[in-house]
Amino acid sequence: MRELNRLGITSVIDAGGGGQNYPENYTVIQRLHQDRQMIVRVAYNLFAQKAGEELDSFRRWTEMTTPRAGDAQLRMNGGGENLTWSAGDFENFLESRPEFAPTMERELEPIVELLVEKRWPFRLHATYDESIHRFLTVFERVNGCRPFATRFIIGHAETISEPNIERIKALGGGIAIQHRMAFQGEHFVEHYGTKAAEATPPVSKMLALGVPVGAGTDATRVASYNPWVC
């Protein structure tokens, strides 16, 4: 936290991560909070950890806690950025774009339904337009039965297309972008060409279409956590 303060950071969103189990792995940060040692405000999302148990985890968590639980120093922020492992999109442009199994929608839909029912904001990690397209089809189906009463975020969205930005907007969602291309641009160009790289991510289109856009570092996944580099 001191290192983040050094860079001028006073608040962060923790979008979760592999191996970060709730609630057991949050005892350290909760202890710091109890002892009034928080010098960075942290809003944390609950990230599904075990494949095959994602829906059960969210069911359990929605009984245990609620969005905004805590206070300004340490707050629960909702679900994500992993909702189900079957919807796990790669962020490494050395790898080819993943094709999800046909069962992805069946696994994602009840989780989105639950989060919408419980009014949990959520974020979903998604690099490619093809993945975002399938996620939005699930979101629209859920929204058709039970209109979204909370915000959601698509995180990353490097190759998102204009129609899918419009679909996010229609559902009341937002997009969180990072500067990963500054570190992986050459690999991206090798896979998809310079033309595609010119609009990756298509920030000006997102802004022109009026979708809320957040920019960050995604630290320390791909880049440095230093926001000034970003």
Find the shortest distance in angstroms from Cβ 89 to Zn ion.
Answer: 8
- The footprint of Zn ion on this chain (CB under 5 A) covers a number of residues equal to 3
If the CB atoms of residues 107 and 218 are measured against Zn ion, the closer one turns out to be 218
- Applying CB under 5 A, does 125 fall inside the site for Zn ion? yes
- Applying CB under 5 A, does 180 fall inside the site for Zn ion? no
Which of 3-11, 93-101, 123-131, 205-213 is the region at the interface with Zn ion (rule: CB under 5 A)?
Answer: 123-131
- Applying CB under 5 A, does 123 fall inside the site for Zn ion? no
Find the shortest distance in angstroms from Cβ 133 to Zn ion.
Answer: 18
Find the shortest distance in angstroms from Cβ 126 to Zn ion.
Answer: 8
DSSP string, the chain: -HHHHHTT--EEEE---TT--TTGGGHHHHHHHHTT---SEEEEEE---STT-HHHHHHHHHHH--TT-EETTEEEEEE-S-S-GGG-----TTSPPP---TTHHHHHHHHHHHHHHTT--EEEEE-SHHHHHHHHHHHHHHHHHS---S-EEEEE-TT--HHHHHHHHHTT-EEEEE-THHHHHHHHHHHH-HHHHTTSS-HHHHHHTT--EEEE--TTSSS-S-TTT-
If the CB atoms of residues 155 and 202 are measured against Zn ion, the closer one turns out to be 155
Beta bridge partners of 129: none
Which of 38-46, 80-88, 146-154, 204-212 is the region at the interface with Zn ion (rule: CB under 5 A)?
Answer: 80-88
Find the shortest distance in angstroms from Cβ 72 to Zn ion.
Answer: 25
If the CB atoms of residues 31 and 124 are measured against Zn ion, the closer one turns out to be 124
Binding residues vs Zn ion (CB under 5 A): 81, 125, 155
